[in-house]
Each structure stands twice: as structure tokens, then as C-alpha cells.
């Protein structure tokens, strides 16, 4: 894996583009400027990896648009050593951004092919603060709950109650809700029974599906 001066220059331009769209969190921008996005994509996409676009990856999934990654990361308001549950590892790019921001990441992927790819990538990048699980994301990780933050990287038909119960009081969850086009929701758990929900921008994600898919 090579991260050339050209790659770094393209990455700086991408960060400038993201900033121009309103992303201000310096920790988000620094993490994304440091992380080679092309490592998480097929070699065929290397020359266009730093465009602000989503691209296909294995298992009929996508690597999210960089602006989307930055937006969700900024909304989480990460502080070092926070525990973050991520639903939908995908390529692993979002997990790595959060880890470089100082979070301890627990990430779940339902597609075994993607789970294996991301797990290997985290080892190559020396990111031991990311723990990966091949499971159904609808169930979360109750054995490690409660989490400071939860991020869902797939479009949920409705806000997942089971995940809210795994959020610390005072914690935040960021989840795209809706079918087709989703509204990004930021949910704050106020008490055992009370949450507040804030509707943010609209995005397009692959659907949040139940079950697991083993590698063929």
C-alpha cells in the first residue's frame, strides 16, 4: 500500500472541499487528511478516490461520500477515549476516521466479506483501538454497553430502540432515518426513558438490513 505525494495532495484538496461545505471540526478534518481513502477501495478507483463521491465496494455496498463521513463524525462530537458503537463497518473507512480522532470503536458488519476486509485493513494500519464483529447490527453489542456514542451507517426505516437502550445517559446517536432518501437524526439520551431528536440534513444510504451474510 502506497500513499504518495500525489495522494496526499489530492487528499488536501478534498479536505478543502469538505470545509467549504461547512465542516469545521478540526479533529474530523485532521483524521480525514491523515487517512488514505484509496486504501479502502478497489485499485480501479485509486485515481478518483479523492473525489467527494460515494463509490461501490464489495458485497453490493458503498464507501460513503467523504462529506457524509465528515458530517456524521462531526455530529458525534467525539472526545478522546470515548466508546463508539458503529453499525455497518463497510470498507472500514468511517471506523478508522473515528479511531484517529481518539475513539475506541466497536464496529459491527453483517457482510462477512466486508468484515474480513476491514479487519485486515485495521491490522495493516495498526489501529488496535477498533474491535470488529461479524453480527446482526440490529442487536448492537449489549455486552459492551452503554456506549458514549452510536453511529449507524445505513438507512434505518425507523429509529432503532434497541440501540438507544445501549446509549449512555447524555450520549449521542447519529442515524439516517427513512426509505430512499434519509434524514440524518441526532438523538441525545436524556434519561432512562427520555430522548431528544434533532433532524439534520438529507442523505442517501444503503438500507439497514437484518441478519448476516456469510462469505461464499
Q: Which residues are catalytic?
A: 64
CB 175 within 8 A of CB 187: yes
Beta strand extents in 31-146 (DSSP E only): 55-56, 62-63, 83-87, 104-109, 130-134
CA torsion sign for 193, 199, 200, 203 is: positive
For residue 209, how many C-alpha atoms fall within 13 Å in the half-sphere facing its CB? 11
CB 130 within 8 A of CB 107: yes
Amino acid at each position: 500500500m502506497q500513499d504518495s505525494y500525489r495522494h496526499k495532495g489530492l487528499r488536501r484538496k478534498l479536505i478543502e472541499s469538505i470545509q467549504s461545505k461547512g465542516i469545521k471540526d478540526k479533529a474530523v478534518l485532521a483524521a480525514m487528511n491523515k487517512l488514505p481513502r484509496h486504501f479502502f477501495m478497489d485499485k480501479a478507483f485509486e485515481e478518483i478516490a479523492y473525489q467527494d463521491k460515494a463509490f461501490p465496494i464489495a458485497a453490493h455496498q458503498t464507501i460513503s461520500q467523504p462529506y457524509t463521513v465528515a458530517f456524521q463524525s462531526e455530529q458525534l462530537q467525539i472526545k478522546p477515549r470515548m466508546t463508539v458503537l458503529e453499525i455497518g463497518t463497510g470498507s472500514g473507512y468511517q471506523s478508522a476516521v473515528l479511531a484517529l480522532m481518539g475513539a475506541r470503536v466497536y464496529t459491527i458488519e453483517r457482510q462477512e466479506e466486508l468484515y474480513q476486509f476491514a479487519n485486515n485493513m485495521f491490522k495493516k494500519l495498526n489501529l488496535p483501538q477498533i474491535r470488529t464483529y461479524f453480527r446482526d447490527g440490529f442487536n448492537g453489542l449489549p455486552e459492551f454497553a452503554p456506549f458514549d456514542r452510536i453511529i449507524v451507517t445505513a438507512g434505518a426505516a425507523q429509529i432503532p430502540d434497541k440501540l438507544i437502550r445501549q446509549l449512555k445517559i447524555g450520549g449521542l446517536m447519529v442515524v439516517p432515518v427513512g426509505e430512499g432518501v434519509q434524514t440524518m437524526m441526532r438523538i441525545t439520551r436524556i434519561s432512562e426513558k427520555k430522548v431528544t431528536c434533532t433532524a439534520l440534513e438529507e442523505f442517501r444510504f444503503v438500507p439497514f438490513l437484518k441478519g448476516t451474510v456469510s462469505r461464499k
